[in-house]
Structure 1
Amino acid sequence: MLTFEVIIVFLGLIGMVTALLLDKMRPGMILFSVTVFFLCFGILTPKEMLEGFSNKGMITVALLFLISEGVRQSGALGQLIKKLLPQEKTTVMKAQARMLPVISFVSAFLNNTPVVVIFAPIVKRWAESVCIPATKFLIPISYATILGGMCTLIGTSTNLVVDGMILDAGYKGFGMFELGRVGVFIALAGILYLLFFSSGLLPEARKNTADDEYVEAEPSSYHRVEAVIGVRFPGINKRVGDFNFARHYGAEVKEIKRSGVSITNNLSRVKFHEGDTLVLWADDSFISTWGDSSVFVLLANGKDTEPKGDRKKRWFALTLLVLMIVGATVGELPFMEELFPGVELDMFFFAAVTTVIMAWTKLFPARKYTKYISWDILITIACAFAISRAMVNSGASGFIAHGIIDMSDDYSPHVLLAVLFIITNLFTELITNNAAAALAFPLALSLSDQLGVSPTPFFVVICIAASASFFTPIGYQTNLIVQGIGNYKFTDFVRVGLPLNILTFIISVILIPMIWPF
């Protein structure tokens, strides 16, 4: 029934999606604005609005940021990718076959962004040294991390968000490897697709237009540096000419790479955007000064700049990571509840313990721990819980679900599962994965309730569809990172990613109902 509350929620959601598409401000503030809007109309109580900020899934995401940083600073990731890269002459397929499965495995347990931030510059340098275009590897690296993230509860923040919503709704959450029952099949099919088809679909190397224009004119102590703009860059949406980059960072902007286009003319009139890759002319101090800052997501100067921890530090970090995963997996077993009554040995417990150990053993600088947490993602997640609650409170989710059922000629849950996948996937490509999950979760509840079937298949399809961001660079941060340093165009992602989206869709709608029956 189209009530006043439903209309208010629809207006809020339309405004949210529009603001996200137009990139008016950070997603966290957009979603927070929508929750305040709902609060003003009494659709949310203050308690309901704030519940997401204390949700166990959201806090676990924050802890995993720190754990990923500890592993990154140990130097383990840099050493791993160097051992995987063939040193002799090779082919694109052989090199991808060595890299992609391992990258997927690593990203199943670590935040995808640091994996790509460390791997991408190393792979780019290696590709240049063996005379293979780096463009044949960078998009596949990003896609491999996304595919790996589908296989575990901690592989992506979206899985933890959906799990938190499931628990809030009174259902049993996912186990550590439960999503892997379908995620592994998707990852294997995706990697095989990339091995056999990506090389032909990806472009050859694109020349950086600014490379030859100023090298001779600058002092020899200066060299080319690539910097991907992060969320905390103070010049976002300001013109290059109005923001004194040299005064702030001691470097000069020579080129901006955006959507596969190199901008060198009339730079002073161009506005900085998050995800832009800046080609800078800087001295050796630039990376050491700003490499540990969230102002830039990635810095590369053609040299080794990743952390170089000693061997003991690397092994200690990896041991802690393995113990956390094993502990969270074993902690779900019934006999553990009998051994440790009153202690919930879940992912949150072991992530918290691991984070504290890493801080006290200085695997990451404890005094700077707030720098390594993406606060906007956490605020987005917390507000996603509130928006989902508002859709339920107002009846908007039931109204939409009823409309979807009425529009379907076949009321089969299999058909509606496919419809929910498409809706969630389109939202995740256009806005953000966590916002997509927030919109899709109450629909899943309402659809399963009106059909009288188990909601679990719908929950799983949200996790998969919200992560399967392949055919646009804007849906996932790792895609934005490789777009800049690989000088990819938007159409490159469509050409390679759209078949992968379709492949993921087909496998999901076939396997999910078989593994989790309605």
Structure 2
Amino acid sequence: MMTWTVLLSIAGLLVMLISGWVRPAAAFVSLAGGYLLLGLVDTAILLQQYTNPALATLLLLLLISLALERTPLLDWLSLRIVKGGERTATARLMGTSAVLSAFLNNTAVVAAFLGAISRQSHVAPSRLLIPLSYASILGGMTTLVGTSTNLVVSSFALSSGGPELGMFQFSLVGVPVALLSFVVLLWRAQRLPQHQPENITEKLSYFLAADLEPGSELVGKSIEANHLRSLEGLYLLEIEREGRLISPVGPEEILKPADTLIFTGEVSKVQALQRFRGLKLFGHKADDLLATNLVEVVVSHESELAGQTLQEVDFRSMFNAGVVGIRRGNKRLEGQLGQIPLRVGDCLLLAVGSDFRQHRNIERNFHLLSGSLTRPQLSRLKSALTLAGFASVIGMAALELLPLFHGLLLLMGGLLLGRVLSPAELRRRFPFELWMVIGSALAIAQGLENSGAAALLAQGMQSLFSGHGVFAAFVGCYLLTMLLTETVTNNAAAALAFPVAWSTAQAFGSDPMPFIMAVAYGASACFLIPYGYQTHLMVFSPGRYHISDFIKTGLPVSLTYSVAVLALTPLVFPF
């Protein structure tokens, strides 16, 4: 009875993850807590999962990435990468992002190139952004530290008593698979749509500007008293006064003669302004000034805004900025902007106040696409020392001179002592959600084992492939993981598929390594749907893509990737 209860709970978890009803962290933690209450895991085992050595290594790596992404290297490369013909520029971008993603967080690599690619006009950004995202995945899956998924799989292997995975163990299959997939991706990139970046005139179409005439009855009264805060479909964003912008506009702001009021929202609701006497619509003076404080950003996967509306989070107070427009993929959203739930990957066009950059939550919530803002960078000396320190840690781990966790911990201490990172920044950017998901997933895997559910699933796999041998079961584990990573997140896919793969290997009496690798490579095989991988969501709106663009490009890449993985893995890691 308990076995079937656990299987039903896993099915319920999948439904919640696919539907997006709850955030993954809440779903995983709740299920792990349920297993604790049912006695499937005890308190000591549960707490032990949250301190798993591979998980701790992953968290250290992500925190150190905060320093690595502030070195001038990524920005320097982003300014020089899109040169030559389109095919040459695409190949150079793919190769560079893949090599960097093998050692750096691929989200940071894509974020660094995203703004430069979106701003340049040499090659249509829509021809480059999907290749950038796919190449970062292909590069990331070639090393232990290239993607969080590989470290997640390593944490499961260690927790199950399996072998410790080496730094370049993934490269033996990963590098040839990546090279084959690159050829197909370069071919498909030529068939992506050509969407040129929006120019400033297009962005200003979000606005309605109205001049306040000297004799208007609105003059001398506050915004609140003039009822300008409760307009149907429109929102007072800024006031242009004597060559300067007042942004954001508070309810107590007193209107003065010759003010230009800038509204945003549903431009079709312009009639809402016609009842105000002395308000002259379609003033043109504000256009040039508006162009100086527009910033375009993408909602990041770390953002606390996901799933919430602008009104719920009080966006204006949080960031001293107003949202002029929201774009999701190739669609510009309309209606009451304040009541639209935001998603990861949404493009927001912001009119920002003077201290926007000083808000400490900017980097956590947004990836910068355009505007006059720049990311804070390390000095040349600190940058050189940080990169040298990281390269040394990776090199010593690869040569087995120093465990990766030890090296990263020493490097973290050096970054704190050198004030490259601060405790406040680490608190602000700590990946709590990822930590909770993986720690809880390890506990859930333990519950699957203890309840017999994992063994039952393995028996099902064995009976399903009994006439076809262990290779067919290996293929089945890979396809299961691949299906999960397209429908839920890559880390969740690895967490759910690993216990099945491990138990299947035991049921067949096989070496577990090919099955472990099937889960690792399968969890990175997200090429069809943009919602399964965070870098896809990052490029979805800036590239103004349709979902069909990912499918048309990703299907041949996915087929090539899968055939290569299934052919090469058993040769390198025999059963």
Q: Structure 2 length normalisation: TM-score? A: 0.82
The equivalent residue for 1:455 is: 512
Q: CA deviation at 1:511?
A: 0.2
- Which AA in structure 1 matches 2:501? A
- Which AA in structure 2 matches 1:267? L
Q: 1:303 to 1:182 in 2, by over 3 A?
A: farther
Cα deviation 1:372-396 (Å, max 9, x = unaligned): 2221011111111111111111111
What CA RMSD, in Å, does the superposition of the two structures yield over aligned residues? 2.2
The equivalent residue for 1:470 is: 527
Contact map agreement 1:210 1:264 (CA 8 A) in 2: no
SS at match of 1:274: coil
How many angstroms apart in 1 are the aligned matches of 2:57 and 2:531?
25
- The answer to whether the aligner puts 1:257 opposite 2:327 as a matched pair is yes
Q: CA deviation at 1:465?
A: 0.6
- Which AA in structure 2 matches 1:182? V
* 1:2-401 equivalences in 2 (<5 Å): 4-86=1-83, 90-126=84-120, 128=121, 130=122, 132-205=123-196, 211-214=203-206, 217=209, 219=286, 220=289, 222-230=292-300, 233=303, 235-240=305-310, 244-289=314-359, 292-294=362-364, 296-303=365-372, 305-331=374-400, 336=401, 345-401=402-458
SS at match of 1:163: helix
Q: 1:290 to 1:444 in 2, by over 3 A?
A: same
Q: CA deviation at 1:55?
A: 0.3
Cα deviation 1:395-421 (Å, max 9, x = unaligned): 111111211222236332211111111
Structure 1 runs of 4+ aligned residues shifted over 6 Å read none
How many angstroms apart in 2 are the aligned matches of 1:202 and 1:5?
52
Identity, % of aligned pairs? Answer: 30
- Which AA in structure 1 matches 2:331? V
Contact map agreement 2:32 2:444 (CA 8 A) in 1: yes
Farther off after superposition, 202-211 or 307-316: 202-211
SS at match of 1:211: helix
Give the structure with the higher percent helix.
1
SS at match of 2:142: coil
Q: CA deviation at 1:215?
A: 6.1
Q: 1:291 to 1:141 in 2, by over 3 A?
A: farther
Unaligned runs of 5+ in 2: 210-261, 263-285
Contact map agreement 1:360 1:366 (CA 8 A) in 2: no
Contact map agreement 2:298 2:369 (CA 8 A) in 1: no
Bigger Cα Rg? 2
- Which AA in structure 2 matches 1:211? K
Q: 1:371 to 1:243 in 2, by over 3 A?
A: closer
Cα deviation 1:103-142 (Å, max 9, x = unaligned): 111111111111111111112222x2x2x21011111111
- Which AA in structure 1 matches 2:63? L
SS at match of 1:298: strand
- Which AA in structure 2 matches 1:39? L
How many angstroms apart in 2 are the aligned matches of 1:118 and 1:291?
18
How many angstroms apart in 1 are the aligned matches of 2:519 and 2:306?
32
Q: Which residue, 482, 487, 494 being the options, matches 1:425?
A: 482
How many angstroms apart in 2 are the aligned matches of 1:102 and 1:369?
28
Contact map agreement 2:344 2:537 (CA 8 A) in 1: no
SS at match of 1:113: helix
Contact map agreement 1:251 1:281 (CA 8 A) in 2: yes
How many angstroms apart in 2 are the aligned matches of 1:353 and 1:62?
14
